[in-house]
Structure 1
Amino acid sequence: MAYLVICFFFGLAGGIVGRIKGSSFFLWFAVSAVLPFVGLMAAVLYRVESNELRRQCPSCGNVVPLHDALCTRCGTELEFPEVAIVPESVSRASRR
């Protein structure tokens, strides 16, 4: 019984951390409940990709993360851009 309580609270903590980082609460709840300590550490160390700079592919116009070397839609090799696109999460926060 004590193990289930521990799993529940680790799941709750992992779900909250995952939701704060912009991912699914239920996914991180399940991972953290099944693997209590490891799941919570994975949620804490999970990279937030919504805050990364982006760039636009010159061939197809697809918006990809700045660190991508190839376009995920057309496969064009991308050079480092002159201007990066600011993520939506940053532009929303600056408007407040």
Structure 2
Amino acid sequence: MVTLKTIEPTDYQTVDSLIRKAFTNTEEGYGNEAELAANLRKDATYQNYLEIVALKDNTIVGYGLLSEVGVYEDSILLSTGLCLAPLAVLPEM
């Protein structure tokens, strides 16, 4: 069974490794997705409850981060939404 939980700072290193493993051997390759996650955590709009890890047998096997984004027209905010990135799963899963 897989369970979900909000990320904790102690999970950051494991998640960094998971993201690298998930993207490295893909057609597009690794494109600094782990750095993206780390940088998004520093953004003023970051909400830790929108950063989730998936656990199987108490091991992190998946990860997702939702970030706030704005839709603008002529510098006017029309709407606010959420963007999912990065999303990663261990290749063996």
TM-score in same-fold range (> 0.5): no
Max Rg structure: 1
Q: Give me the TM-score of the superposition, normalised by structure 1.
A: 0.29
Higher relative contact order (CA 8 A, sep 6+): 2
More strand by share: 2
Q: Give me the TM-score of the superposition, normalised by structure 2.
A: 0.30
